[in-house]
Amino acid sequence: MVMPNTNKQHVVDKEVNAALAPFILQSLPIGIAIFDKELKTINANPIAAELIDLRANTDSSLAAGTNEKIWGDWHKTLSEVVEIGKIHRFDNVAYRKIDKQSVLQITCAPLTDGLNDVIQGGLLLLEDITEKANAQKQMANTERLAAMGKLASKVAHELNNPIDGIMRYINLAKRTISEANLPKPVEYLEHAGDGLKRMVQIITKLLEFSRNRYSSLEDTPIDKLIDDAVKFIEPAAKALSVEIERQYPSALPTVKGGNLFQVFCNLLKNAVEAMPDGGKVTISWDISEDNVAMIKFRDTGPGFDPANSEAIFEPFFTTKTGKGTGLGLAICRDIIEKYRGKITAQNFPASGGIFTVHLPLNKK
């Protein structure tokens, strides 16, 4: 009986595995990068190249698109992988590659030789969970906004009646004191009245926020909704020497009108108020290949802090010290999301801000 040569079989298996390894690496549905003990990237599949900015060193690849204050020192993390075999896993890592931001699940694991369990380097496993993270965020945001809407409605109704009574008594007092020719008390009461009007404005916004619902109306051309919003805002714009220019030579497609007029009014109002010394608002549009209308509102104001590009859509966040309620853009986002759309904000390279409304168009 001839016994098999186990050493020879092992060599054959090793050669087969070595031949298959590149094919397996390239065909896997997640991003994989292999690095050596000096953290140099020695191999990676196409998905890894799509997800991160691949550089000579893997720690530099990760650091290039992540926030070090949140995720720490990647050099230290990967060194622990190749030196002591520690496995690190990170969920919901925001990674920016050029202008594209994605959310990744990142696992860093040691790579051994399979025989003596000696660490040869490390593996970087990358999974794109952007859609899942966005869905979770949207669900949490919807629940939070629903709860906030109920609270806002209750608070607004509770405050409306006493404020209305206070305003009546202030007006009566002003009339009585005016008849007695006492100008100073009238001035004080006017200041008190201005404060109450400010409270009424906030309460009105709260009620809008809590009552906001998608209205399924008849199809309306987008340009008509914009034109109506421009007519509404134009007097305030002229008072501040702000020009409003519309750049859509042909008719725009139609959408279910609903509350979009309110969205366009809010965006124009914000743009005008951002330019108290005059300026220009330009409204333009385009349609993407997947039949989404992109309506852009660009102003020549000072712009905003890029770090706040997401926060400005959160309820009660405002950059208008002592003036804004912080609900206008939150209401806009809530309305647009009910149309299965989205709203984004960015600074123009020269100056000013650009707010873009992305609206899926009606299918014919």
* pLDDT score at 16: 35
Report helix angle 183-211 to 328-338, nearest 10: 20
* pLDDT score at 48: 92
Which two tokens mark 47? 């998905």
Name 126's bridge partners. 31, 106
Count the neighbouring beta carbons within 10 Å of the beta carbon of residue 164: 11
> In the chain, what are the helix, strand and coil shares in percent, each to the nearest 5?
50, 25, 25
- pLDDT means per 10 residues in the chain (364 residues)? 46 41 63 94 92 94 92 94 94 88 93 83 92 74 64 68 76 81 76 72 62 54 85 87 84 71 87 89 87 89 74 67 63 83 82 87 61
Domains of the chain in start order, with CATH, are 26-128 (3.30.450.20), 135-211 (1.10.287), 219-360 (3.30.565.10)
Q: Return the SS3 of 132.
A: helix
* pLDDT score at 205: 63
Write down the residue that tokens 């993407």 correspond to.
288
Relative to beta strand 119-128, strand 31-36 is antiparallel
* pLDDT score at 249: 65
* pLDDT score at 22: 55
Which secondary structure element, helix H or strand E, spans residue 35, and what is its range? strand 31-36
* pLDDT score at 18: 42
Distance separating alpha carbons of residues 278 and 276, to the nearest angstrom: 6
* Of residues 350, 210, 328, 348, the one with CA closest to residue 269: 328
* Of residues 267, 273, 283, the one with CA closest to residue 242: 273
Q: Say if CB 124 and CB 58 are below 8 A apart.
A: yes
Count the neighbouring beta carbons within 10 Å of the beta carbon of residue 142: 12
* pLDDT score at 282: 92
